[in-house]
Structure 1
């Protein structure tokens, strides 16, 4: 796999480490962001980033894309259809500062907490959350090899873990998953996004923008993440730091544990 690199330690011992390369996400010839990422599934990454950052409304707005290796990293390039291209150009004109990991290409506090689209809530119990996390832990080949990667998966009650993407960055993993869902024609609202990481507000925003049915994680969320998930109607299941168990943090999710 591209995401793992074999190295030899000074003591002669072999090791497998996670690959980390700069990936420039380029739209209509302009770099929107440069992410340190794992060089797997970059086509999914490009589409998913464009979707979760609101650059496109659907993959159909990408006319052409290519992945080009450069001496210092990799460029993931996309050319946008007219409506999306015009929106992107206007966004670039409004951006006065650098972009980076998390909240990409924004220039004001208001944009950092922009209104989110309402989601079609998928009621899930905490027992479902446990099953989803167990399935995710059992299906992470890059993490198993390197012990240094996050994962984002798509889980349904009937189908289990349907898709999985891994990356050194949790945001990158979610963007790759978003792109993979779009490429496969899977409606995000039909299942839950399940993460290996803590839940910060930017992950909630990305999940809401792509229309995920629920968001599940093994760690505690931030207070702002819960606030934004509630406002978007996004069911959020995560670990309570006080009770050390999964709980439903937002009203759309069921509050009764079906494992009792």
Structure 2
């Protein structure tokens, strides 16, 4: 059973997620891999391999339970990285939302890939903090919408440390500034797109830190035509080390999940 989610959320208001109590057999340790600047496809392949390995353990555990044997714990990973300029199109996306042809992509030193997350088209590039959690949600809670809210909340709490009040817009996944209904200039600062197979996640979030926002001008981000994109640098008027934002976000994500982090 697979779930794919990205750009759409329930229209009803959502509360900040609470930490789920630990039950016997759950593994709340997350192995964090700080990859730095890495190409998109090898990172996608790494996600797929970690997902496949975890699903193999879960399949073996089902056989063990049938034989009245103790199951093995499943691992959790979080890949943190930046990418060279790349556009990715989700399963429900429209190719025409990429506004560059092959020569345009080459001119901007960018690549393009169709991928298996939900949602439409997005951009990744240097100065953007990208996180790919490969988590077995059986270790935390089996609720994909709650999982998305946890990712959003970790970003919201991180941005608050920089004096920015961020939040959600009903019907749109991600984290926004000027998010209140009727605000004059809502701006997206973090995009989300995930896939979940048998409660194991992949893909994740992209937080604009020092991102070159001009690259968003070559797409219709998430298919949304009436809202802007921003970055931490744009809002603060100065650059911020991506590694600093990364470490602050890790603290909030671990707290929301009730997780222990290791390298």
Q: Which interval holds the TM-score relative to the shorter structure?
A: under 0.3
TM-score by length of 1: 0.23
Relative contact order higher in (CA < 8 Å, ≥ 6 apart): 2
